[in-house]
Amino acid sequence: MYGLRHKYTIMVSVFVIIFLVILANITNFSFLKAEAIYEPTYFNQTINLSMADKSDHLMWFLQISDIHISAFNDPSRITDFKDFCENALKVFKPSVVIASGDLTDGKAANKLTSQEIQKEWVEYQNILSSLNITQHTTWLDIKGNHDNFNLIDLKSKENYFENYSVQGKTNPRSYLYQLKKNGDIYSFIAVDTTLQPGPRFPFNFIGLLDDDEVKVINNIVHQIESSNSNYTIWFGHYPTSCIISHEPNEIRPLIGKHSNGLAYLCGHLHRIVPEMYTLHPEGFLELELSDWKKNRMYRLLAVDHGLLSFIDVKHRDWPVILITNPKHALFLIPYKHDLDVIRQSTHIRLLVFSQVLIEFVKIQIDSQTWTFCQHIDGPLYVAPWDPNAYSTGLHKIKVHVEDVQGRSKYHTQPFSLDGTTLSFGVLPSFVLKTSANTIFKLMFWILNIIILTPLLLLKLVHYRHIARGNNEERKSSTTCTRTCFRKLWNLVSVDRIFWPLVLYQIYLTVGPWTIGYMIENYIGAIFAWGIYVNGVFLPASVTYIYGFMQLLLFQIPLIFVLAHGVDHRIQLYLENGEVSWLSKIRLHVPFIAILTLQFIMVYCVLIGYGILACLICPLHTWATILAIMLWVQALSLLKQHAL
């Protein structure tokens, strides 16, 4: 009896400790704090700007993202990118081209080894230099996570961004570029949030805005304010939801507090959700661009009399149409877009591009008659209108363009002159407005609770039943629910299997998952909460989702497979039956499937991080050995241990 009480006390203590650790992690999430609603001071730099039929106060530029030039996969990425630089840029003649990260792929042919590959960077540089791109436009490139694999610091010999990119030599991280055109100053702020050091795949999926980079960005903002800049465009590789930042230097307030900042442009997520756009409470648009890698997408943007407009375009899809006035109702920015500029305008304005001459451009508002547009200068076409006729509610403007080769394009967009807006999609807003770091943490800790709580409670109940001499739950039952309960009950009754399972899961929350050469020739350790290497801690929150997948695909299936194995052994003792071949197949196949998946993960660690990381890897290698030992234990339980 004393032994049972002692076990009961230990069980309660373990449960309380686990609960407090998990509760401490959950309550520390910034996600649970109320989000502030910012009301930026309205800037009046567009006052007295009359939109008519002139090409003044107009600037357009391009964005391309996630090019992923590869030495091993899909050569058409390179040829299409060269075609874009050689032909599309001649058509658009943009003032600026933003290349927002993942310029190269950094993955070997096996797609498991990740490091910077010089050949890919040479290819990137050769395309831009052979076509003299910098002679025709300003090319603003910035690093993405694939441009930062396996780099201990910026001085690493494999930091090819510094030597082969356009901006790398003078701007190795965040920087400012200012464009002066037609009396206006346009500021472009590149925000580099790649991890330093830069780990290998997949642990640099989330970016980090540290204090040093915040100081650089604050200095840039002060420089902009002193230069009387009219409009500011922010850009980076990671969406703000994929950037770890902490008070008082959180990324969104940092962007939002700058009064003339219009938008933050990014890439990285590769069209996991179409049209990933949103308006943040801090007062700026966030516009994620689909990738070039698979979708061959780029973006045309324009600032026309202070109004930011854009359209995402498929490569070689001509003609391209961008309506700049009236502005798309979905993308109106309160306190920053002056609707009086639209209300007092005399002309509808749009940009039209094609590789050949344009045959005609005509517009239609709502269900009215079509009106032909007049060509003014370059890509600018205009048509007179009376804004007072559309002063309330939502309206639609439709454009029909045809070029001399007979290629025809229709484009429709809603507009509003009284501030009526549309709602962004729920899923895109969720992806861009939440914090991936917080979501990953929640997923990891909640799944820990879901797995551990029932097992520990069932163990407590089991101790109480043993104390009372009640052991009926081990007998065979008929219903599916009772059978499942009986199997779990039998599992928790075997200490030599139950406790290693529980302790392994607890270990995943506190101990190192692997120790090896994390970056170049530097030994480091991966934990649930991040990576330690070369004296630096990287809060690589991808580890949480990695741990979540291990729990989901290994721990949970293993619990049920072992429960079935223990129950199978117990029923043999209780019923003295024989095992058929079909029963043996049903018994062993699920375990073989779990083991196969773990062997694959062990192989991935071996290829990605080397032999040392593979050997010292409790997450996969040791877990595989543990699973085999527990399975052998389950199928060879002696009668005194099973009953």
pLDDT tens sequence across 16-53: 444 544 554 444 443 333 333 334 444 444 446 789 99
Position 395 in a domain: no
Q: Predicted confidence band at 1 (pLDDT cuts at 50, 70, 90)? A: very low
Within a domain: 525: yes
Average pLDDT over residues 513-522: 92
pLDDT at 48: 60
Q: For residue 45, what are its two tokens?
A: 């730099």
Q: What is the CATH number of the domain that holds 122?
A: 3.60.21.10
Rounded to whole angstroms, how far apart are CA atoms 464 and 457? 11
pLDDT higher for 190 or 1? 190
Tell the residue number behind the tokens 């966030």, with chain if given: 286
* Domain end marker among 317, 346, 372: 317
Is the same domain home to 161 and 22? no
Q: How many CB atoms lie within 10 A of CB 360?
A: 14
**Alpha carbon 238 to chain centroid distance?**
7
Where does the pLDDT of residue 127 fall: very low under 50, low under 70, confident under 90, or very high at 90 and above?
A: very high
**437-473 pLDDT per residue, tens:** 999 999 999 999 999 999 999 999 888 877 776 655 4
Do the domain assignments include residue 393?
no
Task: Indicate whether 148 and 233 sit together in one domain.
Answer: yes
Cite the DSSP H helix spans in 142-207: 161-164
Q: What share of the chain is helix, strand, coil (3-state, %, to 5)?
A: 40, 25, 35
| 626/632 Cα distance (integer angstroms) | 10
> SS in 3 state form for 477-525?
CCCHHHHHHHHHHHHHCCHHHHHHHHHHHHHHHHCCCEEEEEECCEEEE
118 within some domain: yes
**What was the pLDDT predicted at 41?**
42
What's the token pair of residue 281? 């409470």
Q: Which of 317, 337, 355 is the last residue of a domain?
A: 317
Give the domain range for residue 246. 59-317
Within-domain flag for 427: no
> 47, exposed or middle or buried, with CB in 10 Å at 0-12, 13-18, 19+?
exposed
Percentage of the chain surpassing pLDDT 70?
88
Domain membership flag for residue 296? yes
Answer yes or no: are the C-beta atoms of 466 and 494 closer than 8 Å.
no
Which of 293, 317, 341 delimits the end of a domain?
A: 317
**Interval 604-631: pLDDT, tens:** 999 999 999 999 999 999 999 999 999 9
Residue 12 has pLDDT above 80, yes or no: no
Q: Flag whether 372 is in a domain.
A: no
Helix or strand run (H / E) with residue 428: helix 426-433
Q: What percent of the chain has pLDDT over 90?
A: 73
- Residue-wise pLDDT for 169-213, tens only, equals 999 999 999 999 988 999 999 999 999 999 998 899 999 999 999
Q: Between 256 and 623, whose confidence is greater? A: 623
Is the pLDDT confidence value at 215 over 60? yes
If asked whether residues 12 and 83 sit together in one domain, one would say no
Q: Which residues pair with 144 in a beta bridge?
A: none
Confidence of residue 583 (pLDDT cuts 50, 70, 90): confident
Length of the chain: 643
Distance, in Å, from the CA atom of 139 to the CA atom of 187, rounded to the nearest integer, reads 14
Let me know if residue 518 belongs to a domain: yes
Segment 393-421 mean pLDDT:
95
Question: How many structural domains compose the chain?
Answer: 2
CA neighbours closer than 13 Å in the CB half-sphere of residue 508: 25
133/190 same-domain check = yes
pTM: 0.88
- Are 19 and 66 in the same domain? no
Identify whether residues 313 and 455 lie together within a single domain. Answer: no
Task: Look at the alpha carbons of 7, 11, 13, 17 in this order and tell me if their dihedral is positive or negative.
Answer: positive
Residues 20 and 64 in one domain: no
Quickly list DSSP for 298-360: EEEEEEETTEEEEEEEETT--SEEEEEESPPGGG--TTTS-HHHHHT-SEEEEEEE-SS-EEE
Q: Are residues 8 and 131 in the same domain?
A: no
**Alpha-carbon span 44 to 22, nearest angstrom:** 49
Are the beta carbons of 40 and 284 closer than 8 angstroms? no
Give 536-558 pLDDT, tens digit per residue: 999 878 999 999 999 999 999 99
